[in-house]
Amino acid sequence: MILSSFRSFLCSDLRRFLAIPLTLSVVLSSGLPHPFLASASRLVHQYRVGYTSVQSLSLSVMAFSQSQFPPPPVAKKVEHTMEMFGDVRIDNYYWLRDDSRTNPDVLSHLRQENSYTDSIMNGTKEFEDKLFAEIRGRIKEDDTTAPLRKGSYYYYERTLKGKEYVQHCRRPVPDNKAAPSIYDTVLTEPGAPEEHVILDENIKAQNHEYYRIGAFEVSPNNKFVAYAEDTKGDEIYTMYVMDAETQAPIGEPLRNVTSYIEWAGDEFLVYITMDEIFRPDKAWLHKLGTEQSKDVCLYVEKDDKFSLDLQASESKKYLFVASESKNTRFNFYLDVSKPEEGLKVLTPRVEGIDTTVSHRGNHFFIKRRSDEFFNSEVVACPVDNISSTTVLLPHKESVKIQEIQLFIDHLVAYERENGLQKIIVYHLPPIGEPLRSLPDGHAVNFTDPVYSVGSSESEFSSNILRFSYSSLKTPSSVYDYDMNSGISVLKKIDSVLGGFDAAHYVTDRLWAPASDGTLIPISVVYRKDLVKLDGSDPLLLYGYGSYETCVDPGFKSSRLSLLDRGFIFAIAHIRGGGEMGRQWYENGKLLKKKNTFTDFIACAEYLIDNKYSSKERLCINGRSAGGLLIGAVLNMRPDLFKAAVAGVPFVDVVTTMLDPSIPLTTSEWEEWGDPRKEEFYFYMKSYSPVDNVKAQDYPHILVTAGLNDPRVLYSEPAKFVAKLRDLKTGDKILLFKCELGAGHFSKSGRFEKLQEDAFTYVFILKTLNMI
């Protein structure tokens, strides 16, 4: 019937369409067979003969319209009134929040949403399976990480073909008296020291839908291992200690702990627990073999804006317990040779001063940030006179000191300048000699125009720096760098199977002008033989822009499935992140938060204006606080995007930040503001995605959540979707997918995560008619 009508149309008098571009759009119903397309295309070709003026007659298929699918779930409305400062907000979906995760009505609604999503995506399931196979096919399934020497052993992780999780392994160093060298390799041939599998996560995960090890710490004498496991995705861990050789358990497990664990010598552990709102608030000292009830509480942080952190010095002689808010951080130290003496103050609690500490020889080293030294300085103080400080690296307005790493003879600074990362190596005087301002260091050189660099654990007593490197076209790599000679050796580069060739791709940095004239960096990558840069290319724009987090341009092999289909991938390094220094963050938080959203819109407009894409080809993606970004810009400029993916999005900003019983709320008042104050209340309400949904035509949207998520309650995206369904106009698809057995970071298996990528990519490709 459809083909017959089509044929009649083509046989009609086409002369009135001469020189007029003509597109015939056909909406496919779920039952319309795909052979229709081939037949229709043949008819177009057949009836073009003799009508040479009709050169732009074409057929497009609008294959993603709401009208062709069953109706979506409709959440019931139960009016919940909230009033503050004379302002009344009505939340009809407040009932969707159930902290017990057991309410049958709530679970039923979430399952209906998942079923609806499955029904919408059912027609592309075969393609999704093929795409997943393509993505998985790039992974070298049986592989090992670059071995790291710790004393007399090399430690590494192994993956096995077909297995979701890793094995934690080690091999003895053949000659452990020899100094480490960048040229060292692990011998595996017959007669070499035997490999020992310390822990196989695949065995541990067998009886769990979700499994994640958040800490794996080896004792200084290499005899014991402490590890923390989460079997729900709620980030509440159980800590186990075992003999590294025999795997025999040492004592009983420690329950309800965080993943912050460090050894204090070979007989003690320090760990951190959380309060009822999941705030890390207590530090404990545990002696091996004793009951948890006998553990000594080292410190309790009572201010609910502060949370505890824990780290060991590179020298392993001290542990540091830090208490931090978004603007202040102070530190205690524990001498691991005298753990019974408990914690002592190293840096005092001063509002607006942020300190991170470490140790070498007879000095503590302190990276210190303040309003005056906003990009940080590095100072040192004697262990026996912590009030006497010497500036080693002074503050610079254009260079942010992000992190320092200590060695027996060197200090390494991880810096940022003009949005790019740098590694600078400084030589230190021998231990015992006075410390003074350090002379200029030497930089490690990198080749890509934009890239990502990360610090890695290294041997404190050696001259070898280990770091990770990747770019948007360079797979993740591990290097050992000789800080004396300046020579670096590639120890490991992730294999990318399936014919990947980095030379096919181009990566670059662009600068988009924001509404106030600020230039916003954008990192881009594309395949140079497929992209035309004429405005017709599909583009996926990613953003985050919160917590001073730096979203540096690193490699992701699954992304190749978009690039190899002609996509451009771009990262908008918007304010609220830390890519351009501390002030970049300050100008995208609190009462300047809207800069984050307008920066992202400016980046999108720049990419369109400069022919990287068009409104009909531009898709956007963000996760968590990046999901807030996506929700906000969808309300502000729904016309600008074809499709959007909001992963575990923080979208109910005002309601959440008014509720101190919700995890993270109290500690984040310094990030978003405290809406119990009128100025912050109305400012936050002006951008909060749930509060600003209105009757307008939104693009295609995919929203995800995790039922056990402690960071962003599943109810936030659930409410956002329910309100969008009620108010949005047009027939674009809105999908909601809630993982009922996972948390903030979705499923835990390495292939399961690839499945999530495949699903997201299929959604994007489907909205663009590219399947």
Local structure of residue 691 (DSSP, 8 states): G
Per-position DSSP letters for 440-506, written without gaps between them:
P-EEPP--SSS-EEEE----TTSSEEEEEEE-SSS--EEEEEETTT--EEEEEE--B-SS--GGGEE
448, 599, 709, 757: which one is catalytic?
Answer: 709
pLDDT at residue 5 tops 90: no
Tracing tokens 């988009």 back to the chain, one arrives at: 512
Tell me the pLDDT tens digit for each residue of 192-218.
889 999 999 999 999 999 999 999 999
pLDDT at residue 39 tops 70: no
- For 419: left if phi > 0, alpha if psi spans -120 to 50, otherwise beta; the answer is left
pLDDT at residue 279 tops 90: yes
Q: What is the dihedral of CA 693, 694, 696, 700, to 10 degrees?
A: 20
- Given this model, what pLDDT does residue 76 score? 97
- Given this model, what pLDDT does residue 29 score? 34
Q: What percent of the chain has pLDDT over 70?
A: 91
- Given this model, what pLDDT does residue 64 score? 54
pLDDT at residue 673 tops 80: yes
pLDDT at residue 165 tops 80: yes
Tell me the pLDDT tens digit for each residue of 408-421.
999 999 999 999 99
Mean per-residue pLDDT for 539-550? 98
Give the separation between CA 581 and CA 375, rounded to whole angstroms: 6
Residues 6+ apart with CB under 8 A from 345: 330, 331, 332
Mean per-residue pLDDT for 136-158? 95
- Given this model, what pLDDT does residue 640 score? 98
With CA atoms as reference, report the closest residue to 727 among 695, 692, 697: 695
Provide the pLDDT confidence category of residue 138 given band limits of 50, 70 and 90: very high
Identify the residue with better confidence: 57 or 656.
656
Give the separation between CA 173 and CA 754, rounded to whole angstroms: 35
Mean per-residue pLDDT for 251-258? 97
- Given this model, what pLDDT does residue 433 score? 92
Q: What percent of the chain has pLDDT over 90?
A: 86
Local structure of residue 697 (DSSP, 8 states): B
Query: In the chain, what is the straight-line distance between the N-terminal and C-terminal CA atoms, in Å?
Result: 25
pLDDT at residue 637 tops 70: yes
Token readout for 69 is 């699918």
In the sheet with 488-493, reading across from the earlier edge strand, the strands are 452-455, 464-470, 477-482, 488-493
Mean per-residue pLDDT for 596-609? 98
- Given this model, what pLDDT does residue 65 score? 53
- Given this model, what pLDDT does residue 750 score? 92
Determine the distance from the C-alpha atom of residue 5 to the mean position of all C-alpha atoms in its chain, rounded to a whole number. Answer: 51
With CA atoms as reference, report the closest residue to 586 among 309, 413, 400, 404: 400
HSE (side-chain half, CA atoms, 13 Å) at 470 = 18
Please name the helix (run of DSSP H) or strand (run of DSSP E) that holds residue 156, with its range, or none.
strand 153-159
CB 617 within 8 A of CB 538: yes
Is 624 among the residues known to form the active site?
A: yes
pTM of the predicted model as reported, rounded to 2 decimal places? 0.89
- Given this model, what pLDDT does residue 32 score? 33
Tracing tokens 């509480």 back to the chain, one arrives at: 297
Provide the pLDDT confidence category of residue 51 given band limits of 50, 70 and 90: very low
- Given this model, what pLDDT does residue 61 score? 40
- Name which of 5-14, 322-331, 569-578, 675-684 the model is least confident about: 5-14
Local structure of residue 577 (DSSP, 8 states): B
pLDDT at residue 399 tops 60: yes
Residues 6+ apart with CB under 8 A from 189: none
Long-range Cβ contacts of 78-84 (<8 Å, 24+ apart): 82/655, 82/658, 84/658, 84/675, 84/681
HSE (side-chain half, CA atoms, 13 Å) at 349 = 10
Tell me the pLDDT tens digit for each residue of 340-361.
999 999 999 999 999 999 999 9
pLDDT at residue 583 tops 50: yes
pLDDT at residue 748 tops 90: no
- Given this model, what pLDDT does residue 630 score? 98
- Name which of 27-36, 107-116, 370-379, 545-554 the model is least confident about: 27-36
CB atoms within 10 A of CB 92: 16
With CA atoms as reference, report the closest residue to 614 among 682, 665, 538: 538
Q: What is the dihedral of CA 637, 641, 647, 652, to 10 degrees?
A: 10
pLDDT at residue 25 tops 50: no
Q: Is the dihedral of CA 749, 753, 759, 762 positive or negative?
A: negative
Apex CA 753: angle with CA 747 and CA 755, to 5°? Answer: 110
Give the separation between CA 716 and CA 710, rounded to whole angstroms: 12
| Three-state secondary structure readout of 164-203 | CCEEEEEEECCCCCCCCCCCCCCCCCCCCCCCEEEEEHHH
Please give the single-letter amino acid code of residue 525.
Answer: V
With CA atoms as reference, report the closest residue to 265 among 333, 321, 337, 340: 337
Per-position DSSP letters for 37-81, written without gaps between them:
HHHHHHHHHHHHTT-TT-TTEEEEEE---GGGSPPPP-PPP---E
pLDDT at residue 767 tops 90: yes
- Given this model, what pLDDT does residue 62 score? 40
Q: Is 134 exposed, middle or buried (0-12, 13-18, 19+ CB in 10 A)?
A: middle
Per-position DSSP letters for 278-304, written without gaps between them:
S-EEEEEEEETTS-GGGPEEEEE---T
Apex CA 656: angle with CA 308 and CA 87, to 5°? Answer: 140
Give the separation between CA 266 and CA 224, rounded to whole angstroms: 8
pLDDT at residue 42 tops 60: no
Give the separation between CA 592 and CA 623, rounded to whole angstroms: 20
Mean pLDDT, the chain, integer? 91
pLDDT at residue 257 tops 80: yes
- Given this model, what pLDDT does residue 20 score? 33
Length of the chain: 771
- Given this model, what pLDDT does residue 40 score? 42
Is 709 among the residues known to form the active site?
A: yes
452, 624, 667, 748: which one is catalytic?
Answer: 624
Could you give phi then psi for residue 132, rounded to 5 degrees?
-60, -45
Provide the pLDDT confidence category of residue 66 given band limits of 50, 70 and 90: low
pLDDT at residue 21 tops 70: no
With CA atoms as reference, report the closest residue to 506 among 536, 521, 527: 527
Residues 6+ apart with CB under 8 A from 14: 51, 54
Residues 6+ apart with CB under 8 A from 250: 224, 241, 242, 243, 288, 289
Report CA-CA distances (Å) from 566 to 286, 474, 556, 578: 55, 18, 16, 30
471, 744, 748, 757: which one is catalytic?
Answer: 744
- Given this model, what pLDDT does residue 11 score? 37
Rg of the Cα trace of the chain? Answer: 28
pLDDT at residue 3 tops 50: no
Q: Which residues of 581-611 are buried (b: 16+ CB within 10 A; e: fewer)?
A: bbebbbbbbbeebbbbbbbbbbbbbbbbeee
Provide the pLDDT confidence category of residue 101 given band limits of 50, 70 and 90: very high
Provide the pLDDT confidence category of residue 178 given band limits of 50, 70 and 90: confident
Provide the pLDDT confidence category of residue 377 given band limits of 50, 70 and 90: very high
Helix orientation angle between 750-767 and 125-136, rounded to the nearest 10 degrees: 130
